[in-house]
Structure 1
Amino acid sequence: MTTAQDLRIGDAAAVLGIEAHVLRHWESVGLLRPPRTPSGHRVYDSNTLDYARLIRTLQRSGLSLEQIRELGMSPCDTRTLLIEAKRREIQAHMALLEATDGFLAHLTTCSHPVVADCPECSGFTRRNDPPYLDGPRRH
């Protein structure tokens, strides 16, 4: 039974700020299970919308759909390990962003014409595998 607050897929997508095909994809990979009307139309109630908002936020935060699905399907102990690992990754990324922000702030006042002439610039650029870099280097 649908209520006046239940939305069809197009309206739900508009409320969420995404395309309807994204909601269909999330359903096809097992992340969303919107209830259906007797005629088969998807309806998005407040719980389904909240879950879709959670998926969107986690995805924007860097989790893959597979990671999100794994979080939802894993036993509590496994879920805790997954969350702790992702939090470490996020903290490492935040440290990199903070270091880069500091470097960029320094560049606004740096008077050295060559990076190697500036102790702060060369210190930032010469770091080998700083602890805040997680994963392979990108060139």
Structure 2
Amino acid sequence: MNIGEAARASGVSEKMVRHYEAIGLLHPARQANGYRSYAGGDVAVLRFIRHARDLAFPLEDIRKLLALWRDRGRASAEVRGLAMHHVAALEEKARALQAMASSLKHLAAHCHGDDRPDCPILDSLEGRHG
């Protein structure tokens, strides 16, 4: 199948299919005319990548997960370790996002939101308060 068909079958854009090939996550066959030719296995790899990206795995972790997926002799403990490391990173990011939301809520609560030009939100962004 061509790149458009592979993209549609996997739910990944053509641009990202090319990107994943360029960074070595995908290795489609090349026809004599130089065009890429995608098989069912390539679509499975693209779906795998898409699902991993949906879970916000970084590309280097996806590279590791793909290698483990392809290795039928792998230990599941290694996969679990990668997943749990990612969970910890996501939880830390969630804490950081919650702290940012709390700070912004605090600033918004102290903004009059009227016709006056004084604004603690802008003052904080400028670095005058906070």
| TM-score, with structure 2 as normaliser | 0.58
Change beyond 3 A, Cα 1:92–1:109: same
> What is the alpha-carbon distance in structure 1 between the residues aligned to residue 39 and residue 77 of structure 2?
31
Instruction: State the match for 2:52 in structure 1.
Output: 58
> What is the alpha-carbon distance in structure 2 between the residues aligned to residue 88 and residue 18 of structure 1?
32
Residues paired across the two proteins, number: 105
CA RMSD of aligned residues (A): 3.4
| TM-score, with structure 1 as normaliser | 0.55
Instruction: State the match for 2:86 in structure 1.
Output: 86
Change beyond 3 A, Cα 1:12–1:95: same
- 1:25 is the counterpart of 2:25: no
Q: Identify, as 1 or 2, the structure richer in helix.
A: 2
SS of aligned partner of 1:16: coil
In the TM superposition, structure 1's runs of 4+ consecutive aligned residues that sit over 4 Å from their partners are 36-41, 111-115
Instruction: State the match for 1:67 in structure 2.
Output: 61
Instruction: State the match for 2:116 in structure 1.
Output: none
The runs of 5 or more residues in structure 1 that have no matched partner are 1-6, 116-120, 123-139
SS of aligned partner of 2:109: coil
The runs of 5 or more residues in structure 2 that have no matched partner are 69-73, 112-118
Change beyond 3 A, Cα 1:43–1:18: closer
> What is the alpha-carbon distance in structure 2 between the residues aligned to residue 17 and residue 110 of structure 1?
44
Change beyond 3 A, Cα 1:77–1:90: same
